[in-house]
Structure 1
């Protein structure tokens, strides 16, 4: 159960619920919420999308598994955290757009859970600023070349590590301080 659900399954369930967010944006929002210290809860869609009318995804569904696996991955000491993005078979433009959607979702979820002034390390603050720059980016700047494939892989890895750093600042450091007191 440590593997994220299939992108298509998440997309189909989001469409069935009439959610306006892409699967990448949903996962980014969930990750931002959890990384900033938001509570792992079954009705996460209501919290992450700031819509109290949304109910909890059905137990065992793709969206429920997305929450459970993501929360477990963020807590994994082996750094097994993954991003839910368009499949590798998609074009570089589509995958880049999904990454930027993911970053936009992350910032929204992070802001909802952390408030206006999260306590971040200098590295965490820089990572959050870099994520904001990515969220403001446009996939049309990329072309389908080997250099762009390599650049996209590097950006994905940066985002993955940035999320773990921010989760460390907002969740793990807080737990550590509480255990010392």
Structure 2
């Protein structure tokens, strides 16, 4: 257990949804969060211009200090770096339908994959486990949401969410934390 200050919570998904709609970004809140996390996990900088970076659009707006998207950036960067593994995915709440939650998870994976590639480049130095995890995220990014399900499907979705969370931390560890460690050794 760490004595460090806990990583901040993500803003509510409704606040991020509102900001996405207001700025007409053309992505869901989950996909935008996946993009941000992919960007950060691949070694991209946490800065006010992050929307331009992850959307690959130099005309995208800057986030204002204190708005939901800036809070999303700050909380995500802190959570990815947190040694207590406080990292969370921004997804609909448990009372949303299975289709909404699974669709949002697959959107999150699509966003992660694209922005990770932008930040990490074509041949990032990844461990065998991280390479496999990235391949699994790619498979999830291509998946379609399930319309209906039972308790087994709910359990499977929870397991997939946890896998994606850990995979993102693993990729961040390989691309960012390992690189920082190598720099300190040199």
Per the TM superposition, whether the score is higher than 0.5 is yes
Correspondence 1:74 to 2:80: yes
Q: Distance in 2 between matches of 1:41 and 1:58?
A: 11
Q: Is the 8 A contact 1:91 1:144 kept in 2?
A: no
Question: Equivalent residue for 1:156?
Answer: 161
Q: Give deviations 1:59-104, integer Å, cap 9, x for gaps.
A: 1011000000000001100000000011212101110000000000
Aligned mates of 1:75, 1:167 — CA distance in 2: 8
Query: What stretches of structure 1 move > 2 A for 4+ residues in a row?
Result: none
Could you tell me which runs of 5 or more consecutive residues in structure 1 were left unpaired when the two chains were aligned: none
Structure 2 regions of 5+ residues with no counterpart?
1-6
Separation in 2, partners of 1:31, 1:22? 14
Query: How many pairs were matched up?
Result: 180
Q: CA RMSD in A?
A: 0.9
**Residue 123 of structure 1 is aligned with which of 104, 124, 129?**
129
The one-character-per-residue Cα deviations of 1:110-141 (angstroms, maximum 9, x if unpaired) are 0110111111000000000000000000113x
List aligned pairs for 1:56-71, cutoff 5 A. Answer: 56-71=62-77
Report if aligned partners of 1:5, 1:65 keep a CA contact under 8 Å in 2. Answer: yes
Quote the Cα distance in structure 1 between the aligned partners of 2:93 and 2:64. Answer: 24
- Tell me how far 1:57 sits from its aligned partner: 1.3
TM-score normalised by structure 1 residue count: 0.97
Paired residues of 1:32 and 1:106 also in contact (CA < 8 A): yes
Q: Residue 146 of structure 1 corresponds to which residue in structure 2?
A: 151
